Structure 1
Amino acid sequence: MISDLSNATPEQLLHAAEDGVRDRRKAEVRQLELLLAWADLHSGDPQAEPGAVPVRYGGPRLISLGGDGTPEVADLALVEMAIARHEHVLATRGALADAFDLRHRLPGVWAGVQQGRCEVWVVRRVARMSRNLDRHQVRIVDTAVAAALDQAPSRILTIAEAKVIEADPAAHQARIDKNQNQKGVWYPKPRPGSQLDESDSQAGVGTVFARLDEADALAHQHTVDDLAAALAEHADVPDSAEPLSMDHWRAEAFAMLADPAAVLAFLNGIDDTPGTSEVEEVAQQPSRDPRSPTAELIVHVSLTDTGEFGPVTRVENLGPRLLDQVRNLLRQHAAITVQPVIDLHTGRSVNGYEHPTDVKRRTQLRTVGDVFPHATNLFTKQGRAPDHDHTTPYDKHGPPGQTGDHNDTPLARHHHRAKTHHGYTVMQLGPDKWIWGTPHGLYRLVTGGGTTAITRAEYQLHAEHSLRFDLAA
């Protein structure tokens, strides 16, 4: 431990921070292990003890906290443990329920978190997400999540969500059916004083909340986006004025939908603008005509052992969905075009600097998100497309074929800037495998399975293999 942080070197501070993460995770796991040991001591039926006060008079009893296949525990025994944990007994019950599920229902995940591969709160969330599954159904969740523990929390939870749905699609369909009966649109009235609230002033604005069928919500979003783009393009804004944000124009478009006649008049006015050539008119149209909605769905499907489609797909920008939900998303479109399957095992290189569109798309589908160490960015969840950086910097005087699947590192803009200007090193060992070195000597292996800490010796070994591969090529 560093006694005086003000005298520490950058390397010492980084390694101390890394040690702190490991120690914190170990301590949090230890708290769950203590809970489990306490529960094991109090797993016998207190009503079987001599002189036990009957339950009907308030005596202790066994209760079930976790999912199917977890043991029971004496309820009143948890009160004292709650005192030791400085929390309410309900919080202690919740933590023990998660610990029971991890130990008895998710043993692969439990082993991984005991090794420090993941934050404890993430696996506790997985335990709660899968609690309604029976002991057999939950195995599919355990296998998939245990293999993904080195990934970012958002990716782990996305995988867990998909596997819970896959394990019991009938239960998920019941959730969908229930939500269909709970749709609505709400226009809350302003609270007294809300106009003067410094953190969230409601002066002059209103708020709308809506729960719609998913397909209707997406269609509404497309219509608002397209109408907003048209309003922004044809707005009479002085040259000296700051351009208004698209959030502003989406609000204007949403409000305009209250008067369909005004929307049609505006769109017809665009079409009938005099003195506009056919080429200029096409250029001025929004990317999608609100009167003829279109949509692109990228759907990831898998086959069962019998060669049939599995019950769950992954839809870009949305997440895991049942096949019936995908059909529902497309039901509003009279014309549906199915694009060819993208083979992620293929690749190509070109002689120019810019990565071709097909290379970018394959890279993004392989990696799902930013490949900077421990990054959480999911490309389909953010508005900005990633920067496709050359892993080995492009040299205009260099050999041909420098640009392609073999030399493409997709990064969020902030991470791209750090790599470019702050002394990071990176080598690409395959279409979905990178090793990174930080300016002060931390090393990471990044794959489609997440980020793993490696030693300097392991980094150098990977570098030697990469060099030999380059020379052979």
Structure 2
Amino acid sequence: MAEIRLAIEWAVVNGHPRDDRDPMVTPGGDGTPSLREHAVPELAMVRETHPATTRALIADGLDLVHRLPLIWAVVEAGECEPWVARKVAVISRALLTEQVGRVDRAVAKAIGGHAPSTVLEIARAKVIEADPETHRAEQERSRHERYVRLSRTDEFGYRLIIARVTAGDAAWIDAMVERVAEILAETMGHDHNHDELRSLALGWLARPVDLLKLLLEHTRPGADTDTETGEPQQPAWAPDHMADTVDRLCSLPARKLAMLRGRGRLFVHLTDDALRTGRGVARIEGVGPIDVRQLHEVLGNADISLTPVLDLAQRSRVDAYEHPEVVKDHVWVQTGGDCFPWTPRTATRDGVDYDHAIPYDDTGPPGQTGPHNSGPLRRRHHRTKTHGGYTTRVVGPGRHLWRTPHGQAFLVDHTGTHRLPEQRGTAMAEAIQDGVELYFTAPVAYRTA
């Protein structure tokens, strides 16, 4: 409750731009006030959360005050859980101001005496009643929303594949997975349960040549023959050119068949000890940590091109504004992800900008671009740093010092994000100007050149 009030007050304080280059955003629904876009990250840093989390809190608070005042009164009276009211704010955000009152009145009567699931059902029903045309349009739009997504890697190195496809495609995929699972049960023995075999079968779909070979080798005898003549019979669903396609595939040399697989780029990090002993943990960018022994599951069916090991001891610098690939790789490896405070390290190296901590000066000294003055930032965080009054300095390999417009200091390094006393932040920023990296260990400090 206190955090919602704080978010609302912060939006009020930052409700006007400082100049023409200070963009405004409206995180809440129709009828809610705007606030300075670059003010959101500073509140997020103080709350020790990601900016998107704080932006959502501000949006929900503004919606409750300006669009759902009856529900807000129940929240302020302590008669319901604030998180339930926030969910109602999210559910009703697309409604216009004159429509959302129907939701406010109905939910305010129920939110104090019903289970949260019942309250949210009432909210969804009232949203449909308030704007049935938009609901029908959303239903139509949802039919065109297709996707295939991967979950994050779990602690055992596995991921979920989640897809939204047509019912017909889903039936055929399921049938193919089931057929391959049946073949694997014959070839691998019966030491594997059915769900495990289906999981393995899905992996075969990523290797079309291997899959075709497997299916051809295990074609059921007589399954597709004419009962009268005994001749092979083409299935009714098969296109006329299928036989020609199979013949062409069979005539291709092995090297060209291998090229039918997709090409990918993976960055695998592991120690020399893990490479030598075959034991330990490897980290795959965009996947996460896995047991080294699982690497064959990721790389075992691919042609691999190895790149040289990057020597982080050599801090190369260039005179151009653009970051060459070798500098990008160096910055990325020593930082390990987006260097914005409290940001999860889920970004990929191709999904960030490489930002000069001290802005590049065309008339400045040589060697301004390099690991000593660069940090990876998602585009939104890059804009915040550039236009929002935030400053950052690289105060050591993979160490980034941030200071907000109101003097809050944060250090981002391999251990995470840490709030610093203002004096320490100032001392670190001044020391690095002299080429000195300053480290603090409570209660004393030491300096390294």
TM score, norm. by length of structure 2: 0.44
TM (norm. structure 1) is 0.42
